[in-house]
Amino acid sequence: MSCLNNQYLCPKGQNVCGAGSCYDPSSYSCTNGQIGQKSSSSGGSTKSPSSNTSANCGSGTLACGSKCYDPSAYHCDSGVIAQGPGWQSTLPVAPILSTSTKTLGTGTRKITLINNCRAPVWPGLLAKQSPLPGHGGFGLSPSQRVTLQVADNWEAARIWARTDCRVAGGRVVCLTGQCGSKENGYGVECKGAGGQAPATLAEFTLKGWGGSDYYDISNVDGHNVGISIRPTGGKRVGGTLDA
């Protein structure tokens, strides 16, 4: 399984900058692959989309409409305060799996993830069985690979890529595929939590009906990166191959 042809898409209304960061062109600009605040016509800078000066807020807080909020625990979405810190391109990048780690999990079946994207991705995992390899989430640098060792009957499993994950107030926030929740401590490990749309899904059920393995790529939750799945090793059992 890999990111296909370096495809990297941003949510509607946002543009790609550099190796895969997304930005709102109404408030920010991209220069030489770096995101910066767009200058206003008066020579100043536009404010972050999460900032609004209609409230006079104290130190360490920001305004959202007529109210103030703590950006380490909340964010402002279109004038409404929402749970959890908000994503910003200037935040530190979320942790990446060590290149010395080649396998995760202890099962007998192997699924190798390869990041062929130009930017890091943070795979999230969800399945009927537990424990999940890597506790269900980790980061991969470009060209990095890791092999998941899963159960022989791994079923109702899905793998998706989270993009542009950052650390805000000790919590991991991602531009797409976000899985952070109170239950998993908003960490890089999804720990059984699903990803938020949009997210392209790679779905697996091993040793399913008739003892066969089933896999597919689904866009039912939207699309954020291109994915390909290719079986390796083994042999065909019965049937015929298309010409």
Residue 92 lies in a domain: no
Closest listed residue to residue 86, CA positions, set 56, 62, 115, 116: 62
Question: Which residues form the domain of 127?
Answer: 103-228
Q: Same structural domain for residues 126 and 167?
A: yes
Q: Same structural domain for residues 54 and 113?
A: no
Over residues 57-86, the pLDDT tens digits come to 888 888 888 888 887 677 777 788 876 667
1 contacts 229 by C-beta, under 8 angstroms: yes
Q: Same structural domain for residues 109 and 210?
A: yes
CA 229 to centroid of chain Cα atoms? 18
Instruction: Please count the CA atoms within 13 angstroms of the CA of 234 that sit on its side-chain side.
Output: 10
Q: Same structural domain for residues 155 and 223?
A: yes
Residue 4 lies in a domain: no
Mean pLDDT of the chain: 83
Q: Same structural domain for residues 75 and 38?
A: yes
Q: Same structural domain for residues 189 and 219?
A: yes
Q: Same structural domain for residues 158 and 78?
A: no
Over residues 117-167, the pLDDT tens digits come to 999 999 999 999 989 999 999 999 999 999 999 999 999 999 999 999 999
Distance CA 210, CA 190 (A): 31
Residue 145 lies in a domain: yes
Q: Same structural domain for residues 134 and 176?
A: yes
Q: Same structural domain for residues 127 and 62?
A: no
12 contacts 22 by C-beta, under 8 angstroms: no
Over residues 105-115, the pLDDT tens digits come to 999 999 999 99
Residue 55 lies in a domain: yes
Q: Same structural domain for residues 21 and 59?
A: yes
Calculate what percentage of the chain has a pLDDT beyond 70: 75
Q: Same structural domain for residues 54 and 138?
A: no
pLDDT greater than 80 at residue 236: no
Residue 5 lies in a domain: no
Q: Same structural domain for residues 123 and 180?
A: yes
| Mean pLDDT along residues 181-192 | 91
**2-34: b or e for each residue (b if 16 or more CB lie within 10 Å)?**
bbeeeebbbeeebebbeebbbbbeebbebeeee
- Tally the domains of the chain: 2
List the CATH number of the domain containing 212.
2.60.110.10
86 contacts 168 by C-beta, under 8 angstroms: yes
Residue 147 lies in a domain: yes
